């Protein structure tokens, strides 16, 4: 039971992705081609603006709404930077900056310096960097932070890719004039935290697709005269897969709705740690159930698993976030342990 905005967004993205994110679309993207018609559909429906406030021309949706879209990206393996653009729109909105038209924005990360409104430095392994027209960054210096929007100039991006063959460019900025600089009261850790939320949701969606594909395959594949789904050994494995998919979905939903409630780290850190554990189990079972065919490029299972294996290390691995949780737990002490779980605040 979703509210009206959530249901509309959910229907809209399901329609667009089921029409456009075909196997051919993903394969072309892996070869470096930009899926223009898919991106056009997403933009025409304003899905990149879900977290942009209404007074800036956006949808004014909730993080829970954004989470629905993040999960769909993972579920369909949509080869576009929609999640990154949604987050960029949110950050710009915090600085009252409207989303620049006809732009594709990525999230910058690295040793970046701002001097006289000019940005220098390298943003490392930037998602979809070589398809993006702009980047947002939070530059923290002497306990003061500035949010910047900067154009990405031609020939400044490398063509590095992750193992899912998604662009992860190094982008070099040499005294590039920024378009906006806004003083903000949050640090660059915010991008890390929101990035972890975004990837956790995408992973939860990707895991759903593993379950879906594995169940379908087990019902189709005949061995020993019957579908392998009829063997208890397979049923028990797929049940385990399903439990971790369910847990990941809940962890992701809890994280995105916690952002709507003020965004403490417990839910987001828990989500990234929890879905990371789920990937190890689920990818292994999905591949085992698929047998050799799932190990081929021809079969599409790897479009999910290669993404999951990449995404789990981005914006802090599960262990990174688990350590943060554990450090807070031990410094708060055993008597405050349970209250922190019930209040959602660590």
Partner 1 sequence: MNTPFNFRLTKFPNEAEILRHEVREFLSDALKDVPKETRAETWYGADENFSRKVGQQGWIGLNWPKEHGGAGRSSMERYVILEEMLTAGAPVGAHWISDRQSGPLIIRYGTEKHQKELLPGILKGESYFCIGMSEPDSGSDLAALRTKAEKKGDIYLVNGTKLWTSGAHRCQYMIALFRTSQEEDRHGGFSQFIVDLSLPGVTIRPIIDLAGRHHFNEVIFEDVEVPQDMLIGTEGNGWNQVTAELALERSGPERYLSSYMLLQELVNEFSNKNDDEGVTEIGRQMSHLTTLRQMSVSVAGMLDQGENPALEASVVKDLGAVFEQELPNIAHRLMGLEPDSKGTDFQRYLAILTQISPSFSLRGGTREILRGIIARGLGLR
Binding site for partner 1 (CB under 8 A): 1, 75, 208-209, 211-212, 215, 218-219, 229-230, 232, 234-236, 238-240, 242-247, 249-251, 253-254, 257, 266-267, 269-271, 273-274, 277, 318-319, 321-327, 329-331, 333-334, 337-338, 341-342
What's the min distance (Å) between Cβ of 240 and partner 1? 7
What's the min distance (Å) between Cβ of 335 and partner 1? 9
Which residue lies nearer to partner 1 by CB, 184 or 268? Answer: 268
Which residue lies nearer to partner 1 by CB, 15 or 174? Answer: 15
Which residue lies nearer to partner 1 by CB, 113 or 343? Answer: 343
What's the min distance (Å) between Cβ of 212 and partner 1? 5
Distance CA 145, CA 186 (A): 7
Question: For 236-243, which contacts have Cβ atoms below 8 Å and span 24 or more sequence positions?
Answer: 237/285, 237/288, 237/289, 238/211, 238/214, 238/285, 238/289, 240/281, 240/285, 241/210, 241/211, 241/214, 241/281, 241/282, 241/285, 241/286, 241/289, 242/211
At 67 the three-state DSSP class reads helix
| DSSP string for 248-283 | HHHHHHHHHHHHHTT--HHHHHHHHHHHHHHHHHHH
Which residue lies nearer to partner 1 by CB, 31 or 233? Answer: 233
Distance CA 196, CA 203 (A): 10
What's the min distance (Å) between Cβ of 17 and partner 1? 9
Which residue lies nearer to partner 1 by CB, 262 or 333? Answer: 333
What's the min distance (Å) between Cβ of 73 and partner 1? 13
């Amino acid at each position: 039971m979703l509210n009206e905005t959530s249901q509309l967004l959910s229907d809209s993205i399901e329609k667009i992705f089921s029409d456009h994110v075909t196997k051919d679309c993903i394969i072309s993207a892996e070869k470096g081609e930009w899926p223009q018609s898919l991106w056009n559909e997403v933009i025409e429906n304003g899905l990149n603006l879900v977290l942009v406030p209404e007074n800036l021309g956006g949808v004014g949706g909730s993080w829970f709404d954004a989470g629905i879209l993040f999960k769909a990206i993972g579920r369909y393996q949509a080869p576009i930077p929609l999640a990154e653009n949604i987050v960029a729109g949110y950050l710009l909105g915090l600085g009252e900056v409207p989303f620049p038209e006809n732009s594709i924005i990525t999230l910058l990360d690295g040793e970046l310096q701002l001097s006289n409104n000019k940005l220098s430095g390298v943003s490392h392994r930037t998602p979809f960097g070589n398809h993006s027209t702009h980047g947002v960054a939070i530059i923290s210096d002497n306990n003061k932070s500035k949010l910047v929007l900067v154009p990405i100039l031609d020939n400044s991006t490398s063509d590095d890719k992750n193992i899912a063959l998604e662009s992860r460019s190094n982008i070099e900025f040499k005294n590039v004039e920024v378009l906006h600089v806004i003083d903000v009261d949050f640090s660059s850790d915010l991008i890390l935290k929101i990035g972890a939320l975004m990837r956790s949701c995408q992973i939860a969606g990707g895991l759903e697709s593993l379950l879906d594909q594995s169940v379908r395959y087990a019902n189709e594949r005949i061995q020993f005269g019957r579908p392998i789904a009829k063997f208890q050994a397979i049923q028990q494995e797929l049940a385990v897969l399903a439990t971790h998919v369910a847990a990941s979905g809940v962890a992701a939903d809890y994280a995105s709705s916690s952002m709507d409630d003020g965004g403490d780290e417990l839910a987001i850190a828990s989500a990234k740690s929890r879905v990371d554990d789920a990937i190890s189990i689920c990818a292994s079972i999905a591949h085992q159930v698929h047998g050799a065919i799932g190990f081929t490029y021809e079969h599409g299972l790897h479009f999910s698993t290669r993404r999951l294996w990449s995404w789990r290390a981005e914006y802090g691995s599960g262990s990174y976030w688990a350590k943060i949780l554990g450090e807070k737990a031990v410094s708060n002490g055993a008597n405050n342990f349970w209250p922190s779980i019930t209040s959602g605040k660590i």
